[in-house]
Structure formats: structure tokens, C-alpha cells
Amino acid sequence: MSRFSHLAGLLAASLILPATAFAQSTLSVDWRWQKSHLCDNTSPALEIGGIPEGTRSLVVSMNDVDFQNKDHGGGTVPHAGGVTASLGEGALKRYLGPCPNNFGSFGHDYRITVRALAEDGQTELGRGVATKNFSARSAP
């Protein structure tokens, strides 16, 4: 085997390994807005599915897509196991509630991202993202 073909083989292996070694799961993320969430810092109840084995914590963040991707905080919650998790209302301690100035008409779109982390608190095993509108029409 020539030196060139040996190096080419090593390069190809190094490109394939990272893609397979760090395969991630796609999480499902769902919640339901209520009018009581308007300008309130109590996070909505969240339903998360597809959580991979080995997940020890869920990191949740929310952004206002219509207002310069404004960070609305979130929080980290421990995960004891299982493929689903139900986070009760108020579970996220660093959460800032939505307060769009046009709530009565179109409101704003908010994106919630959930990351499933391994025991080391750094390795991301899965990620889920969902976006929903928050307005008088979408929040009963």
C-alpha cells in the first residue's frame, strides 16, 4: 500500500467516525399556551418525547423568533430515565414569560429548544425544537 493510499484511508475513517460516534436523537417538544402565560414568568407545562437512553438532564430554552430572537431563558431539570418527560408548569426557574405588544392581534412566535444531556452534563444525546405562536387567537 502506498503512503498516499494509507493516508487517504485514515482521512476517510476520520471523517466517518465523528458522524457515527455522536449520532443524536430528535426529541419531540409540545406545550399549550394559556392566556395566563401573558407577561407571567411561570413556564408552561412541557411534554418531551424521544428521550435517548443515558439522558441525565434536559436543558430547555425559549426565544422570541419575532423580536430579534430574544432570549427568554429556561432552565435545566434532572431526568431519571424513560423516553418521555412531563415538565409541570413552573418547572423552569430561569424562564421569562412571553409579553408581545401585539398579543391581541398576531402575537409573536416563540421557539422552545430542549437538549438531552448525558451524565457529564456536556455530551448532547438529543435535541428537539418546536415553534408556536402566542396571541389571543392561540391562547385560550
Percent of the chain clearing pLDDT 70 (strictly above): 84
Cell reading at 55: 439522558
| pTM score, whole prediction | 0.82
- pLDDT one-digit tens code per residue, 72-89: 999 999 999 999 999 999
Q: How far is CA 140 from the centre of its chain?
A: 24
CA–CA dist 12, 92 (Å, integer): 43
- pLDDT one-digit tens code per residue, 36-50: 999 999 999 999 999
CA–CA dist 55, 10 (Å, integer): 32
Sketch out the chain's domains with CATH numbers: 24-134 (3.90.280.10)
Strand intervals (E) in the chain: 25-26, 28-31, 46-49, 57-64, 70-78, 84-87, 94-95, 108-117, 124-134
Cell reading at 113: 429548544
- pLDDT one-digit tens code per residue, 88-105: 999 999 999 999 999 999
